[in-house]
Structure 1
């Protein structure tokens, strides 16, 4: 177990890495032991295959070769008289002999069979010499039949028996070796199995020890953390906790312990804050109740003021409406006076134009009178000239007389027109004077009406301003009344909110009372509360 002030830090990661490393090494060692067993078993198997099994196979091949030699030998003797067959079997015997020599070469690699191989080679050479000698005699037609050949070949039977005995002895030796292969392989396999099992068991035991140690090292702080969390969830704060070690779990326990202490401080501060908040909520509730009562009284007073201002507003609006009506009447009179003045000015202007036209008419009439006078003189001269003409100028005299008569009528009419125009001009002059006097009177009336209109305008404007001011006062009173009503509602809401806050504060106090705090010091104040022993529950075993 490491003390909390250990200068060396074995972290959980390092422990797990070491554990996994050891397990990896154990796995590799177990695999190496298994591989060693397999390699050993393979080596024993290969040694057996290349030794005893190969020896047995070579011996069996040698036996088969020897049998082929004897068979081809017999076939050679049987076919005496058929040179082709004899030559064929001689050739086959030669191949079997070469094969037997090859098998002997293969058996020489086995040290235990070197003596038998040497003896076998010597007897085989004697047998081969006897066969070649007999074959030469057969090709020389020395023998009539196989019986004579066999009788001649009897002298070589001793090497043949020696060869048979040697093959039997070597076969027995190979059988003996083959019989020992299975026990040897079984022993090797059992040894490999035992060693591998022991290695695996050792690795398992070491792995179980590592797992137990690692699990214990992990579960002890986790159990302490679980107990601390359960204590906190049960409302017990400021718990005593002994932290052992210097790894991540120890850091976690330190952090949980700091969190527990900090929670105890926070809960203590919240408890004191709830007490202060409850007292403040009660004061606010009382103040809002008193403010609500005064606001209601102010609202009643404002309602009465608003009613009085409404009556005053109605009277002022009535005066303003009368002033507006008078203003409208005066404006109408002023408008009519202006129109009369304008008409009088237009009439005077028209009179002046008529008088000017009368003067022009007089001038025109004078011109007509002058024309009539000249026409009369011309008509007279024409009559005189017509009388001088005699009978030929009579018609012209009649025309001249008629023209003279028309000229006289024109002169008479022009005189009457001059007289009428003169009378009209005099009357126009009198009417013009009357129109001018009327215009002056209308101008004076218009000036008076304008003065009256200005006064009425000022009265109407003053009435409008007074009505507007009273409206503004009414609006202000109404706004004040609305604000007062809103303030009353807000005060009522604030009162209700303060009561709710008081209830919530009391509820929060009841909830905070769930936490039991041991003797801790708070930045706000020093508190002494019920101490609770949790050392037994939280200290790791």
Structure 2
């Protein structure tokens, strides 16, 4: 059971102990509460019920005795009218008080037995009251002998029964009062006994459980302190065996894991320091070789930058020539457009001249027709004049002249028509030639426009090519600068490798304070020969011949990562001595 208790959590054990103590205290408290409540109930029963009933029962008994005393006095002193009148008043008071006491007792009864007793007393009272009334009537009538006879023979049994029942009820109420008091005393004694017993058990259980609890916590903590002190002093050979599953056992388990992890870490560090020393020497040698190759690459990039600068100048000149050709082509295109517009206007003018010539031909034709008609009319007039003889001679001369004029007009009209026809033919030929010239000019304009577009594209391409070449030139310059910086960083890395080799030796010396078991010492005892640190030889760094403007960032394709052999990781920044940087 103690082993099971020891495997419980500390919180559970504390809770169990406190629960037990609280349970015992609860028993004490509940017992005391119950008993004190019983005492309070008994006292309340005594004060508010039993005592009142006893007092009223004694009042009832005393009232009956008073009535009997007054009746006997009136019967004996029957001739004393004044004294009996006083006794009559006293009798009424006694009867009233007796009835009130009996009513109070009856109102307080709750049990069937008590109610039956009170009913018997009340029945006896009624019988006695009847006899008392009859006796008082005889006394009032002055019948002394009859009254004495009534007292001796009739009322004695009624008063004795009434008084006996009243006394029995008073005695029963007194007994109940005594029993209730004894019960209260018994409850008080029981409460004291239970309180003392439970308190003693609670104190004893607290002492025992407190000792066991302290022992189950302090002993593992003492062992944990001893283990922590051994680890702090560098002794990792301590064997830690947890004996419980509570928080202290978990603490011992964690200390054992910590000790085992420290053993593994120290062993790994011891094995890794020699490997670090060897690897750092190889890294320094490789960094020096890489530095030399980086310098060569920087020289090549410098030459490439110079060649790219010359190419940039050539491409820029080509771009300027293409820009000028584009401007000239645009000017020629504008002139060709203007020539096309002029030829179009010439074609329109020739067409208008052709239309006017055709109208003139039509007018000449009309004139020729008029001359022909005039000639016919003149011929007819000459014929008519010849017929008229001498009278028509003058008219014939006029007709001859008119005919002559008509013939001359017809001849002139024919000549003009011939000239106009020839002119119209030539104008039509010129119109055709001008139309062909306009078509040719449109073709020339289209050709010039196409040439202009091509030259513009060439100019734009040349400008883009010039911009791209400049960006390439800036990128190459940046690569050159970055390569030279990489060369310097490689040399710094070589110096850092030498410093790391020295720090590995310091680390091996620092962890030598830890004491390991024989098996771990065997694992880490194989020495690894470390190469002598290599001193990096600085190489002259050449600067680029021409400083170019800063180019936009050029994102290079990501190179695949080269996996390196894993080495033990060392936490904390490495301290590099100032002597290792003097070569820079």
Shorter-chain TM range is 0.5 to 0.7
Q: Which residue of 1 aligns with 2:213?
A: 214
- In 2, the alpha carbon distance for the partners of 1:94 and 1:313 equals 148
Deviation at 1:199, TM superposition (A): 2.2
8 Å contact kept, 2:386–2:396: yes
List runs of 5+ in structure 1 lacking aligned partners.
106-126, 144-148, 154-170, 440-445, 447-456, 530-541
Corresponding residue for 2:243? 244
The alpha carbon displacement at 1:200 in A equals 1.0
Structure 1 pair 227–392 and aligned structure 2 pair: CA distance change class (3 A): farther
Contact 1:11/1:246 (8 A) holds in 2 = yes
RMSD over aligned Cα atoms: 7.3
**Structure 1 segment 18-97 matched on structure 2, within 5 A:** 19=17, 22-23=20-21, 25-31=23-29, 33-34=31-32, 37-38=35-36, 58-59=57-58, 62-63=61-62, 66-67=65-66, 70=69, 80=81
Whether the aligned pair in 2 keeps the contact of 1:317 and 1:467 (CA below 8 Å) is: yes
TM-score normalised by the chain length of structure 2 = 0.50
In structure 1, C-alpha distance between the alignment counterparts of 2:311 and 2:100, rounded to whole Å: 154
- Distance, in Å, in 2 between the alignment partners of 1:134 and 1:421 is 195
Indicate the structure (1 or 2) with the bigger Cα radius of gyration: 1
Equivalences for residues 58-207 of structure 1 within 5 A: 58-59=57-58, 62-63=61-62, 66-67=65-66, 70=69, 80=81, 135=136, 138-141=139-142, 189=188, 192-207=191-206
- Tell me the secondary structure at the aligned position of residue 207 of structure 1: helix
Whether the 8 Å CA contact 2:67–2:91 is kept in 1: the answer is no
CA contact (8 A) 2:51 2:177 kept: yes
Mapped partners of 1:139, 1:509: distance in 2:
140
Show CA shifts across 1:265-292 (max 9, x none): 1354356446545654554455445534
Q: Aligned pair 1:383/2:407, yes or no?
A: no
**Residue correspondence of structure 1 range 87-486 to structure 2 within 5 A:** 135=136, 138-141=139-142, 189=188, 192-225=191-224, 228=227, 239-247=238-246, 249-270=248-269, 272-273=271-272, 276-277=275-276, 279-281=278-280, 283-307=282-306, 310-311=309-310, 314=313, 372=371, 375-385=374-384, 388=387, 403-414=402-413, 417=416, 479-486=475-482
Distance in 2, matches of 1:216 and 1:523, equals 35
**2-structure distance, mates of 1:43, 1:306:** 115
TM-score, with structure 1 as normaliser: 0.53
Secondary structure of 1:240's aligned partner: coil
Kindly state the Cα deviation for residue 517 of structure 1 after the two structures are TM-superposed.
Answer: 4.0
Separation in 1, partners of 2:365, 2:181: 183
Change (3 A) 1:189 1:332: closer
Mapped contact 1:37–1:196 kept (Cα < 8 A): no
Task: State the match for 1:449 in structure 2.
Answer: none
1:161 equivalent in structure 2: none
Provide the rounded CA distance (Å) in 2 between the counterparts of 1:100 and 1:311. 142
- Given the alignment, which residue of 492, 498, 519 partners 2:516? 519
